[in-house]
Amino acid sequence: MPAEPTQLMYSHKELVTALVKDSDLHEGIWALSVNFGFGAANMGSNPEADDLNPTAVIPLLKVGLQRVDALNALAVDAAVVNPK
């Protein structure tokens, strides 16, 4: 019996397609939309070492869909991927 997967990866379009279907959208062109945060800290590779550096911390806060006018590498047509 095959082992259960421990990681599943999706392309941008696969993720958008899944979100379009989950949102029950059947028309329009929808693209991947992400919201990032921003933070800063002094960080180093070793707590005992004297190598602290100002560091940007950019968390991914939200993932969603945004309606757009044209297909692109981040977008799908809901009528094609999730017809009524």
pLDDT in tens, 65-79: 999 999 999 999 999
Band (46; pLDDT cuts 50, 70, 90): confident
The predicted structure's pLDDT at residue 81: 98
Q: Could you tell me the CA-to-CA distances from 25 to 46, 52, 64, 75 in Å, in that order?
A: 49, 48, 13, 13
Segment 42-54 shows an average pLDDT of: 82
Residue 12 or 50, more confident: 12
Segment 38-42 shows an average pLDDT of: 95
Band (2; pLDDT cuts 50, 70, 90): confident
The predicted structure's pLDDT at residue 27: 98
Contact 17, 76 (CB under 8 A): yes
Contact 19, 79 (CB under 8 A): no
Pick from 54, 51, 15: which is nearest to 38 by CA? 54
